[in-house]
């Protein structure tokens, strides 16, 4: 039976959330905006345009938006050659693939950024497909990235599990009708992830791998075997 393990990437498989925070903070500073890093952190995971709107509001000078996004992109790109994958992230993907899951990445990144993330994970042999920001009309928390991942895998929502680290991930998965698993390694509290729809929460990829037999992945496998 076809099953899909859908993964967010930033903050879930690769330890990049705080790098994004610093890059956005500097991009905002260069444009004359003083935005608290805590607020930026809570917004990471939104598409760039939505993040700017969320943090600066509708009364901002929208003429600066492209400049801010370009600055963030340039600043973040300086880390591409040393992005750190979380411990055992690639091993987790291989374990699921070996158990018959189609592993699909659903990331708001695209192009060279997504390529750098995949190099960091170093598990292309386990990845069936990737849904990027270039493939959908709306990013998370809209369900579009998760639904695109399901389409790539050719499975129904009931035959998938989504893993992410932000409230935007949990909301996107829930709106797509997919079981959402939260990871704490992105820095978002357990209570926030659960309130946004997480059915289970683990510390990081290594923790999920260690407890895989008691996770929603095991539950989905048992349901599929009935």
How is the chain split into domains, by residue range?
Answer: 3-16+83-225, 17-78
Report whether 16 contacts 172 (CB < 8 A): no
Whether 132 shows a pLDDT value over 90: the answer reads no
**The whole model's pTM is what?**
0.96
Whether 183 shows a pLDDT value over 90: the answer reads yes
Give CB contacts under 8 A, 24+ apart, made by 173-180: 173/6, 173/143, 173/146, 173/197, 175/141, 175/142, 175/143, 175/146, 176/143, 176/146, 176/147, 176/150, 178/6, 178/146, 178/150, 179/216, 179/220
> By CB neighbour count within 10 A (0-12 exposed, 13-18 middle, 19+ buried), where does 60 fall?
middle
Query: What is the mean predicted confidence (pLDDT) over 81-96?
Result: 98
Using 50, 70 and 90 to split pLDDT, how confident is the model at 226? Answer: low
Architecture of domain 17-78: Orthogonal Bundle (1.10)
Note the pLDDT tens digit of each residue in 25-70: 999 999 999 999 999 999 999 999 999 999 999 999 999 999 999 9
Architecture of domain 3-16+83-225: 3-Layer(aba) Sandwich (3.40)
Report whether 94 contacts 125 (CB < 8 A): yes
Distances 221 to 28, 126, 157 between C-alpha atoms, Å:
45, 18, 14
Using 50, 70 and 90 to split pLDDT, how confident is the model at 176? Answer: very high
Note the pLDDT tens digit of each residue in 133-167: 788 889 999 999 999 999 999 999 999 999 999 99
Whether 23 shows a pLDDT value over 70: the answer reads yes
Candidates 109, 98, 138, 134; CA nearest to 7 is 109
- The pLDDT, as a whole number, for residue 223 is 81
Whether 222 shows a pLDDT value over 70: the answer reads yes
């Amino acid at each position: 039976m076809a099953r899909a393990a859908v993964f967010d990437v930033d903050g879930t498989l690769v330890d990049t959330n705080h790098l994004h925070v610093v890059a956005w903070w500097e991009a905002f500073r260069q444009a004359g905006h003083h935005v608290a890093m805590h607020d930026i952190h809570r917004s990471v995971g939104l598409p760039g345009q939505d993040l700017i709107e969320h943090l600066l509001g509708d009364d901002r000078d929208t003429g600066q938006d492209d400049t801010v996004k370009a600055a963030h992109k340039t600043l973040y790109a300086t880390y591409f050659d040393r992005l750190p994958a979380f411990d055992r992230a690639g091993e987790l993907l291989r374990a699921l693939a070996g158990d018959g899951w189609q592993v699909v990445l659903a990331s708001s990144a695209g192009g060279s950024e997504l390529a750098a993330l995949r190099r960091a994970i170093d598990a292309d042999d386990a990845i069936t497909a990737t849904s990027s920001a270039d493939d959908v009309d709306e990013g998370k928390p809209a369900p579009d990235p998760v639904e695109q991942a399901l389409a790539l895998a050719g499975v129904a929502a009931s035959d998938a599990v989504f893993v992410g680290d932000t409230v935007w991930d949990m909301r996107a998965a829930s709106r797509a009708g997919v079981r959402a698993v939260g990871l704490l390694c992105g820095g978002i509290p357990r209570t926030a992830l659960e309130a946004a729809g997480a059915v289970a929460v683990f510390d990081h990829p290594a923790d999920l791998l260690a407890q895989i037999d008691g996770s929603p992945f095991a539950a989905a496998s048992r349901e599929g075997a009935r």
